[in-house]
């Protein structure tokens, strides 16, 4: 499948699978660098239609509407030189240790229980479902990945768990997540020395579940393979 088609399918799947499709639609629009007005003009609809979808005032778009939205985003990116799709195509994945999608969403509480996780951001309500996970080498992600690399981290759905190994205090991963438009459903730190209060604060601001686990990485992967 050509790169642009794979990217189109990925964005469409992420919006469709999201617990908050309008919010995910907005995040992708902002990530690609498209204004609401330009998207509405390309789709031949009122800007208020796009605004209502993204804010949740209008019912979640159906699959056909999602396809129209994503096709319009891809056309606008192409008209502006294809910067987003080119960055996506050029991404290297050295920091990604493992990435998987689940056939169906896993309830967040079951996911946390399966990895012997403990929530460290108690003021964040639990996510509904986790549609996949990505295991990341924390040091390589922070020091070696550009902003474009984050497109690959989110796989086919941003409604996923980003699992960081090699974490000391967890401040840098949450700072990176804070700076990026796309947000995961959950962040997991594997055997951190401790969790920095700033990481907890950022998780609360972004409403991202923050979890720690003391499982070894091999055991963690074994557990996840059962889901």
Place of tokens 């606008």: 76
Can you give the length of the chain in residues?
A: 227
- Residue ranges of domains in the chain, CATH in brackets: 3-89 (1.10.260.40), 96-225 (3.40.1390.20)
How far apart CA 186 and CA 160 sit, in angstroms, is 6
pLDDT tens, position by position, 72-93: 999 998 888 877 777 666 545 5
pLDDT in tens, the chain (227 residues): 445 677 788 888 888 888 888 988 998 898 888 999 999 999 999 999 999 999 989 888 888 899 999 999 999 988 888 777 776 665 455 678 888 888 888 999 999 999 999 999 888 877 788 999 999 988 777 666 665 566 778 878 888 999 999 999 988 889 888 888 888 999 999 999 999 999 999 999 999 999 999 999 889 988 988 87
3-class DSSP state of 135? strand
Residue 88's pLDDT is 66
- What is the reported pLDDT for 179? 82
* Whole-angstrom distance, CA of residue 213 vs CA of residue 219: 11
pLDDT at 94: 67
The pLDDT value recorded for residue 1 is 42
């Amino acid at each position: 499948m050509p790169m642009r088609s794979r990217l189109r399918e990925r964005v469409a799947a992420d919006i469709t699978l999201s617990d908050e499709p309008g919010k995910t639609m907005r995040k992708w629009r902002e990530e690609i660098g498209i204004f609401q007005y330009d998207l509405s003009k390309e789709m031949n609809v009122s800007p208020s239609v796009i605004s209502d979808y993204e804010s949740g005032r209008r019912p979640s778009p159906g699959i056909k509407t999602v396809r129209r939205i994503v096709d319009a985003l891809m056309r606008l990116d192409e008209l502006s030189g294809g910067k987003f799709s080119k960055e996506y195509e050029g991404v290297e994945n050295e920091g990604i240790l493992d990435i998987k999608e689940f056939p169906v969403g896993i309830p967040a509480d079951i996911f946390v229980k399966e990895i012997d996780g403990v929530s460290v951001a108690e003021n964040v309500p639990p996510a509904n479902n986790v549609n996949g996970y990505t295991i990341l080498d924390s040091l390589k992600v922070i020091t070696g990945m550009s902003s474009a690399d984050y497109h690959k981290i989110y796989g086919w759905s941003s409604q996923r768990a980003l699992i960081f190994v090699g974490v000391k205090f967890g401040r840098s991963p949450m700072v990176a997540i804070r700076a990026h438009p796309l947000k995961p459903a959950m962040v997991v730190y594997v055997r951190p020395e401790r969790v920095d209060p700033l990481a907890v604060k950022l998780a609360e601001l972004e409403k991202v579940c923050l979890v720690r686990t003391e499982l070894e990485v091999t055991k963690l992967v074994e557990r996840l393979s059962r889901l």
